[in-house]
Structure 1
Amino acid sequence: MTAPALTNPFLDALGARTGIRIEFYDPDGSHYGFPTFPYRYAPDNLATRRQLRAEGLRPNGNDPVAQILWRHRKQVRTAHLYRRDLAAAKRHATPAQLAAIGKALQARRTCRHCGQLRDYYIPRSTGACLQCEPGGPR
């Protein structure tokens, strides 16, 4: 199976019609070394990690196949693009993992000094709840 074409027909036609070079449009990777698209002009078969996550998918260990570049406050920002057809469903935590996370979060709310379970996380800097903390309210 070959990879789908990494082009944008609108940007190709615009460049052919006007002769204007779009700054971050490099579908073959000759200028940036990696197929590159401007913000909001990536092909529909590619998605960022965030877009995949919103669809309940993950990159499945595959490397990015292209990138999006755009300018933001005098900086050039990058977002990597992954193929949607190679993405897999997100993994979900098992009941044992969820139980372990619950125990860990409960331990963060239990004071080491008085053993009370608090409604807030105990500050790690002192290791004591606000009542046992030196200089805290009594």
Structure 2
Amino acid sequence: MTDFADHIGLRVRFYDPLGTRHGFPTFPYQMAPTGLATRRQLRAAGLRPGGHDPVAQILWRRGKRIAYLYRLDLAAPKRVATPAQRQAIAKALRARRTCRDCGQVKPYYIPRRYGCCLDCHEGDS
């Protein structure tokens, strides 16, 4: 293992900051260096990767789970939807709640497998 793993007295399976073993700088769960964040952490901070590629990764659960890390200093602010985009989204979501058969707007999304609201589907049976 590395000097770091020997220093803390643990056998750290996914600690590979130089990327020699995993081909990409790799850190175990909750051991990422400061200045790096996952997409979810960026989103919570109101940021986005800004078109930059990940610079490291976190592995956990025997290497079956992975999260890519992005540099905070290269992150850009999240984009905000314009009023026209919000209106288009609202229109599309309303269409997903409108029954094709009866034309009613339901408080739930119309199941795609039926193509109609649950009331119309039960009436067909």
Query: TM-score band (shorter)?
Result: 0.7 to 0.9
Is the aligned partner of 1:124 residue 2:115?
no
Identity of paired residues, percent?
63
1:122 counterpart letter in structure 2: I
Aligned residues: 122
Which structure: larger Rg?
1
Mean Cα deviation higher: 119-128 or 24-33: 119-128
Gaps of 5+ in 1: 1-10
Alignment CA distance shift 1:44-1:126 (3 Å): same
Q: TM-score, normalised by structure 1?
A: 0.75
Q: Counterparts of 1:12-91 in structure 2 under 5 Å?
A: 12=3, 15-16=6-7, 22-70=12-60, 72=61, 76-91=64-79
Take 1:26 and 1:34, find their aligned partners in 2: how far apart are those partners? Answer: 8
Q: TM-score, normalised by structure 2?
A: 0.82
**After TM superposition, what 4+ stretches of structure 1 lie above 3 angstroms from structure 2?**
11-14
1:78 counterpart letter in structure 2: I
Residue 60 of structure 1 and its aligned partner are, at CA, apart by 0.7
Matched with 2:102 is 114
Take 1:110 and 1:17, find their aligned partners in 2: how far apart are those partners? Answer: 59
Residue 127 of structure 1 and its aligned partner are, at CA, apart by 2.1
Gaps of 5+ in 2: none
Equivalent residue of 2:64, what SS? Answer: strand
Residue 86 of structure 1 and its aligned partner are, at CA, apart by 0.2
Residue 16 of structure 1 and its aligned partner are, at CA, apart by 4.9
1:83-131 per-position Cα deviation (integer Å, ceiling 9, x unaligned): 0000001111111111011111111222222222222222222322233
Matched with 1:3 is none
